[in-house]
């Protein structure tokens, strides 16, 4: 029998019964999640946890439990999703220290929820935004690119590091022409900007966000509205940048003024531009990658922080694209 197939039984005893109970979750639900993720059998009696499985799987489960317990002892509230994130991260690299990622508080929302990175790529992204004035976050939907950038922007505003936040997206006609949609121009472009409003309201609450928008401290506008402006003392987020044209991307990047920070996010596999129009995000990646002071951070399907099926859906589409 190979070492991989060897069946082992391991016991872990945690010193604090209160923290141990928090680790177990309601009705041992966290243990069930770890057992499923690691293909092991896990049970608990008091503050002692028993793990059964092959050597590699048992070691992984033990690592997850130990690191989550350490987070709880340090005051981090471990939610069911955090258990899944931890299993995902450590199954790919068991040498990672979860504290270095999960304890990096970016912002505390109006609902008192702590926004932190959940993967090494997200941690790299946050660190890049802190260090560089222009950061590109490139990768599939659901990897936290926009949400984390929004958290960093609101945090910068709260600390008075910037005077305003500017949120923008290309208003690309995907299926319906703007001219044929009902309403005035604001009502026509609003659906394109809705995800930015949603993230903003999640961070600050509706009333505070609305008040700041009324005072022009926060501006949400289509990318075309950025033309001719110089954006000083601002935190600027260009979302869905794969739908910007080459001309729009050049225009946006040259709007950035003094004491400003810009984050550009997008998924180069999801462009809604016509086939004869080049994506400004793809061109920017080719032209300015490697310029000192500009940082690119790349996300993968493993960084998806939505429903676990989203990762499988992305994988299925990638296989289809590889076949074609």
pLDDT value, residue 70: 96
Is the pLDDT at 173 greater than 80, yes or no? no
Is the pLDDT at 53 greater than 50, yes or no? yes
- Backbone phi, then psi, for 108, in 5-degree steps? -110, 120
Is the pLDDT at 302 greater than 90, yes or no? no
pLDDT tens, position by position, 150-167: 999 999 999 999 999 999
Confidence of residue 67 (pLDDT cuts 50, 70, 90): very high
Q: Which of 204-218, 286-300, 301-315 is least confident?
A: 301-315
pLDDT value, residue 275: 81
Task: Report the DSSP pairing between strands 261-266 and 134-138.
Answer: parallel
Is the pLDDT at 183 greater than 60, yes or no? no
Three-state secondary structure readout of 204-253: HCHHHHHHHHHCCCEEEEEHHHHCCCCECCEEEEECCHHHCEHHHHHHHH
Q: Which of 32-36, 42-46, 86-90, 271-275 is least confident?
A: 271-275
pLDDT value, residue 184: 45
CA 9/CA 205 separation, integer angstroms: 49
Is the pLDDT at 299 greater than 90, yes or no? yes
pLDDT value, residue 283: 94
Confidence of residue 190 (pLDDT cuts 50, 70, 90): low
Q: What is the DSSP secondary-structure string of 287-319?
A: HHTT-TTEEEEE--GGG--S-HHHHHHHHHHHH
CB 135 within 8 A of CB 293: no
pLDDT value, residue 273: 85
pLDDT value, residue 172: 66
pLDDT tens, position by position, 11-22: 999 999 999 999
pLDDT value, residue 211: 93
| Euclidean distance between the first and the last CA atom of the chain, given in angstroms as a whole number | 41
pTM across the whole model: 0.85
- Backbone phi, then psi, for 312, in 5-degree steps? -70, -35
Please give the structure tokens belonging to residue 100. 């270095």
pLDDT value, residue 317: 76
Is the pLDDT at 281 greater than 70, yes or no? yes
Average pLDDT over residues 157-179: 76
Q: Look at residues 83, 107, 94 and name the one whose alpha carbon lies nearest to residue 30.
A: 83
Residue bearing tokens 């729009």: 248
CB 261 within 8 A of CB 129: yes
pLDDT tens, position by position, 196-208: 888 888 899 889 9
Task: Please compute, for residue 276, the number of CA atoms within 13 A of its CA located in the half-sphere on the CB side.
Answer: 0
Share of the chain above pLDDT 70, in %: 89
Q: Look at residues 274, 280, 275 and name the one whose alpha carbon lies nearest to residue 252.
A: 280
C-alpha to C-alpha distances, 23 to 33, 67, 96, 234, 283, nearest whole angstrom: 12, 10, 19, 41, 47
**Mean of all residue pLDDT scores within the chain:** 87
CA 110/CA 108 separation, integer angstroms: 7
CA 171/CA 146 separation, integer angstroms: 17
Average pLDDT over residues 19-27: 92
148 or 269, which is more confident: 148
């Amino acid at each position: 029998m190979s070492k991989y197939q060897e069946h082992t039984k391991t016991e872990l005893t945690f010193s604090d019964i209160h923290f141990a109970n928090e680790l177990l979750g309601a009705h041992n639900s966290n243990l069930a999640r770890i057992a499923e993720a690691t293909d092991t059998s896990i049970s608990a009696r008091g503050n002692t946890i028993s793990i059964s499985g092959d050597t590699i799987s048992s070691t992984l489960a033990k690592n997850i439990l130990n690191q989550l317990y350490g987070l709880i002892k340090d005051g981090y509230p471990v939610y069911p999703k955090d258990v899944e994130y931890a299993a995902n991260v450590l199954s790919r690299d068991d040498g990672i220290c979860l504290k270095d990622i999960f304890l990096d508080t970016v912002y505390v929302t109006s609902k008192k929820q702590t926004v932190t990175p959940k993967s090494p790529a997200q941690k790299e992204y946050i660190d890049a935004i802190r260090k560089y004035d222009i950061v590109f976050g490139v990768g599939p939907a659901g990897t936290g690119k926009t949400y984390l950038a929004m958290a960093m922007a609101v945090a910068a505003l709260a600390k008075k590091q910037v005077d305003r936040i500017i949120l923008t997206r290309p208003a690309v006609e995907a299926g319906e022409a703007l001219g044929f949609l009902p309403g005035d121009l604001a009502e026509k472009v609003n659906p394109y900007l809705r995800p930015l409003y949603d993230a903003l309201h999640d961070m600050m609450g509706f009333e505070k966000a609305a008040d700041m928008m009324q005072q022009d401290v926060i501006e949400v506008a289509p990318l075309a509205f950025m033309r001719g402006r110089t954006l000083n003392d601002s935190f600027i987020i260009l979302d869905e940048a794969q739908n910007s044209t080459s001309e729009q991307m050049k225009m946006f990047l040259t709007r950035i003024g003094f004491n400003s920070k810009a984050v550009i996010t997008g998924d180069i596999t999801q462009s809604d531009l016509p086939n004869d129009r080049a994506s400004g995000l793809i061109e920017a990646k080719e032209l300015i990658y490697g310029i000192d002071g500009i940082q690119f951070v790349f996300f993968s399907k493993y960084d998806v922080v939505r429903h676990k099926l989203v990762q499988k859906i992305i994988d299925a589409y990638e296989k289809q694209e590889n076949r074609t």
